[in-house]
Amino acid sequence: MNRAAAHLHRTSSLVRDDVRALALAAGFNEAGVVALPYAAEERDARRFTSWMRAGRAGTMRYLQRTTDEGQLARARVRNPFPWARSALVCFASYGNASAPLSSKTRDPRSGWIARYAWSSRVDDRGQRRPSDYHKVLLRRLREVETKLHAQLGEFESRAYVDTGPVVERSLAVAAGLGWTGKNTCLIHPRLGSWGFLAVLLTALEVNPESKTAELPDHCGTCTRCIQACPTHALDVPYQMDATRCIAYLTIEHRGPIAEELMPGIGRQVFGCDICQDVCPWNGKALRTGPIVTDPELEPRPELVNPTLEWLASLDERSFEREFNGSPVRRARFNGLRRNVAIAMGNSGLVGFVPQLEAWATAADDGLRAAARWALRRLRTRA
């Protein structure tokens, strides 16, 4: 039994440095622990509840899940998990110093897929395959969970990567991994905001010597993310109106998109990186690093500035072949085509008119509306 394992076994509680070492050994870039309930939980619960009641979650009904007592499940960890006494929060970077920024992409023939969804790995046969960060990171988190159980015995636990009724960012802030930026992303002082969060809830107490204070907000007077958002989703600092967010519109939202938002979507066909691209903390992370590309989350070259023509050429079968196992699949086939139609309308290239004319009579409402809007936009410019 090594020193970390011996210490964990002796205390039967989570010791930050030792648990962090397990997380780093599993492949995460950073990790922290937080005792539950944490100091700012009531503040965060009020903010989440107010945000939900204001309708800013759009059609993301899973966020509306309630407990048997009628409480919003995500408002407090103990609402759905009354046994939870601690949370291990892990950070996995998807930053890449060699990859372009969406704000630097000028080719009107190309679209933009958010960098977190570029992920891929090389399989046992040497072929590059799509990889889904949910599965990659959940496997690593379960490795940590298994080691904790082996060292400490049986205790209640749950592992989640974007799938559980928890607000990962709030837990990450409470665990001392960063602060919430004005773009609503967690900003790590060394790694920036390009990172995935994975959470392990446990019934274990946190060792009193391991309790962590929140980091101060280092956004200062900077408002670059707010100014850069083309759909004005960041209408108030530290608050996101999801119904206007390009990431929500191109991934979560089903059906037609409001025409007044289409120009602002630009050529983003899956997700959006704009508010992170302009963040000085991400610029610092790329300059000073080290940001090492995760071998299980390496960029797929064809997803970096993909051509709109290629994306439009995919039928449903080829869409499944290209994106099975990829986060891009969440947009669904017609959702991606809808987004491509909007990007074509914003490209200014009349060469896309034949494709848009074919889509203008599509059975899918969202695709048909986007194609007709794009045709009007291109013909007006012609």
Catalytic residues: 162
| Residue 27: φ, ψ to 5° | 115, 0
In whole angstroms, give the CA distance from residue 365 to residue 339: 13
Helix/strand/coil for 300: coil
DSSP 354: H
Measured between alpha carbons, how far is 175 from 35 in angstroms, rounded to an integer? Answer: 8
103: left (phi over 0), alpha (psi -120 to 50) or beta: alpha
Question: Any idea which residue has 């090389």 for tokens?
Answer: 122
Do 16 and 205 contact (CB within 8 A), yes or no? no
DSSP bridge pairs for 268? 112
With H, G, I as helix, E, B as strand and everything else as coil, classify residue 197.
strand
Q: Radius of gyration of the chain from Cα atoms?
A: 22
